[in-house]
Amino acid sequence: MGGTAVQPSLAESYEANDELTVWTFHLRQGVKFHDGSTLDANDVVTSLVLQWDAAHPLHKGNTGAFSYWSGLFGPYLNAPPG
């Protein structure tokens, strides 16, 4: 505790290739949503896409800003000018 190392919760582990262009997440088995449906890779991809694509209709977040995104993953897809 108190460090900067990421502690995965929905994934058991993850790794990136040397270029940081491909990330592989090993999801925990048995993770459920509040409605009882099971988390799967499609859910994770959808979540990441709607954060990455500034033009996605669900690109909202709590404040409309995903300020950490560029620091972790680079520029947005379809970023507005300015």
- Give residue-wise pLDDT tens across range 35-67: 999 999 999 889 888 888 988 888 887 776 777
State the average pLDDT for the chain.
Answer: 85
Residue type, 42: N
> pLDDT at position 72, please?
79
Residue type, 49: V
> pLDDT at position 52, please?
87
| Residue that is written with structure tokens 């048995």 in the block | 30
> pLDDT at position 1, please?
58
Residue 19, beta-bridge partner list:
none
Q: What's the N-to-C CA distance of the chain in angstroms?
A: 38
pTM of the model: 0.65
